[in-house]
Amino acid sequence: MLGLPDTTQACLFDLDGVVTKTALVHAAAWKQMFDGFLRQWAAEHGTEFVPFDQVREYDEYVDGKPRLAGTRSFLQARGIELPEGSPDDPPTAQTVNGLSNRKNALVLELIDKQGVQVYDGSVRYIRAVRAAGLRTAVVSSSANTVQVLTVAGIAGLFDARIDGVIAKERGLAGKPAPDTFLAGAQELATPPSRAVVFEDALAGVEAGHAGHFGLVVGVNRTGQAQELLKHGASIVVDDLEELLDR
């Protein structure tokens, strides 16, 4: 009744956009940060200010990726070169690290003001997965995963966590590389072929496909079902609860 292969032993869930509605918060923070930077850049270089596209450019360049990788990817797409800087750069610094730190500060500010909402269908599905005896892990590029899980009150739904903090500590490549999902499966003592990945980001389904997991479930939150399939999803659903009927 879970819509999964009979051999499945574990489920690996992305957080933002799959379990929590924080993908919307991240998109808003990216836009606020990039628009402020782009406006200043245009004024200093005498070029036209073209705002960050919160849908297309978010999906293509930053969604699902580690924060620094997302910043680099977008700047490269716009033909903008900035120094890398260092992790302790202030949010006002015109460096890759500075812009990334500004984005993170905005996310934390929005979470503090708005709290964290969950997708009820996802929570019901994860509870059903656990009731069936399957192990669960959250695999997220976010360095704020612990805070989000705590504020949402859902930390107890997962047996293991691989997030941006752990990935940095272990030197794991971020999505679309499969490293973080493979680490999640390892934490659950499950071979990839017996684990299922749940992702809403294009980089995330690419990672699941590259890791040769038993199934990659694309979660279509923004009307990109065909893109999710094209990037590596085995199946696509609009909500995880749909799988309870399969």
Q: Considering only CA atoms, which of 132, 138, 156, 120 is closest in space to residue 2?
A: 132
Task: Say if CB 83 and CB 180 are below 8 A apart.
Answer: no
pLDDT recorded at residue 22: 85
pLDDT recorded at residue 64: 83
Task: Say if CB 61 and CB 77 are below 8 A apart.
Answer: yes
Tell me if residue 220 falls in helix, strand or coil.
coil
- Helix %, strand %, coil % of the chain (to 5): 50, 10, 40
Say if residue 229 is exposed, middle or buried (CB neighbours under 10 Å; 0-12, 13-18, 19+). middle
Active site residue 16: yes
pLDDT recorded at residue 23: 79
Active site residue 63: no
pLDDT recorded at residue 26: 87
pLDDT recorded at residue 126: 98
Sign, CA torsion 231/205/227/30: negative
Output DSSP code: residue 84: -
Largest CA distance in the chain: 60
Choice among 16, 89, 163, 200 that is catalytic: 16
Tell me if residue 12 falls in helix, strand or coil.
strand
pLDDT recorded at residue 112: 85
pLDDT recorded at residue 178: 98
Residues 6+ apart with CB under 8 A from 214: 4, 5, 7, 8, 192, 193, 194, 195, 196
pLDDT recorded at residue 172: 97
Tell me if residue 182 falls in helix, strand or coil.
helix
pLDDT recorded at residue 166: 97
pLDDT in tens, the chain (246 residues): 799 999 999 999 999 999 999 878 888 999 999 999 999 999 999 999 999 999 899 989 998 888 999 999 999 999 999 999 999 999 999 999 999 999 999 998 988 888 899 999 999 999 999 999 999 999 999 888 999 999 999 999 999 999 999 999 999 999 999 999 999 999 999 999 999 999 999 999 999 999 999 999 999 998 999 999 999 999 999 999 999 977
Domains of the chain: 10-21+116-245 (3.40.50.1000), 24-114 (no CATH)
Question: What is the C-alpha R_g of the chain?
Answer: 18
Sign, CA torsion 54/59/63/69: negative
pTM of the model: 0.82
